[in-house]
Structure 1
Amino acid sequence: MSGITTWLTGLPSSGKSTIAAAVAAELGRTHPVEILDGDVLRREFFPELGFSRADREENVRRTGRLALTLASHGVHVLVPVIAPYRDSRDWVRALHADQGVRFAEVHVDAPLAVCQHRDVKGLYAKASRGELTGLTGVDDPYEAPPTPELRLRTNELSLPACVSAVLELVLGTPVGVHPVGAH
C-alpha cells in the first residue's frame, strides 16, 4: 500500500485544517490517515521554534520529514500548515521525490480580506491592534504556489466540493462532485 503526503498551504483562516479534517473523515473509512496539523506540531513537538524565517523553514523541514516517514509506510498524510515560503515547500516535495513517495500540494486559496473576516484564531484582530507582529499575509510574506496540483478557492467553493476535489486528487479517481474552479 502506498501513502501520499497532501500538503495544504494557505493563509491563516483560509480553511486548511477544516478541509483536512473533513478529508480525513472520508478517507479514513478505507485508508490509514494522519493529520499533521501545524498548530499541534508547534505546540506538542516543536515548541522551541518561533516565527522567524529560519524557524518557519525548520518547522516545515521537520514536518516534511515526519510526513515522509508516515507516507512511506502507507499512510495518507494530510498536512494543513501555512508553510509561507515556496523554497521550503519545494524542499519537502524534493525530499518525497528522492524517496519515491507521492506528494501533492494543495493551495487553499482565500483572499486576505476573507481570511481576516473568518479570523478563526483571532490572529488578524491581534495584528490590527498591534499585539501580534510577523503574521503571514499581513506583515510577513506568503508565497503562493504557482503550480500546485490543486487550487481550492475556499471563498467560492463549498466544503463538500473542496473535500471531493482533494479526494479525487489523492485517490486518482472521480468521487462524484466536480467543483468548478477547483483546479
Structure 2
Amino acid sequence: MEENQATQNPGVTPETAAAAEAASQAAAGVETPAADAAPVNAQALADVQAKLAEMQENFLRAKAETENVRRRAQEDVEKAHKFAIERFAEHLLPVVDSLEAAAGDTTGDLAKIREGVELTLRQLSSALEKGRVAVINPVGEKFDPHRHQAISMVPAEQEPNTVVAVLQKGFLIADRVLRPALVTVAAAK
C-alpha cells in the first residue's frame, strides 16, 4: 500500500506516509506502538521525581519540627525541676522575716516572744500547707508501717496496734511520706 501511495504521490516519502498512517490511526482510536510512549514515560518520571522531592522536603520539615518540640519540652522539664521549689520558697519568706524580727528583739518580754513564736509557727504551718506538705499526727489511728515508725509498744486500754502517742509528727508531701511519724503503739493484752 505504501508503494502505491509513493507512486501515486511522488512527493511523499515512506517516512511521511508512516507518520500520516499513525496520525490517522490515532484519530481513529487505534493505539500506536511504543514509539510515542517514551515522551510520556519521561514526563511521568519527571512528575514522580518532583513529587518525591516534595515529600522528602515535607518529611525533613516535619522531622525538624518534631525535634524542636522535643527540645522545647526537655527545656521546660529542666526549668520545672530547677524552679520547682520557687513557689514553696516564696511561702517561707514571711516565716524567715518573722524569725529575724524575733531574733532582733531586745525587749526581753517573754509574753511577746511567745506570742511571736506562735504566730511564726502558724505562718510556717500555712506555708507548709500551701506547699502541699501535710502533718501526720496519728493518735488513735491503726498503726500503718508505711506512714508510722513504731518506737515502742506499751500496754494500753486501746485495741492492739493502735497509736497511743506521737513522739514526733510525720509529714507527707502530695500523699508521699516525707518523714514517718515516730509513735508508741498499744500492745496486745
TM range (shorter): under 0.3
Query: Normalising to structure 2: TM-score of the pair?
Result: 0.23
Higher relative contact order (CA 8 A, sep 6+): 1
Larger radius of gyration between Structure 1 and Structure 2: 2
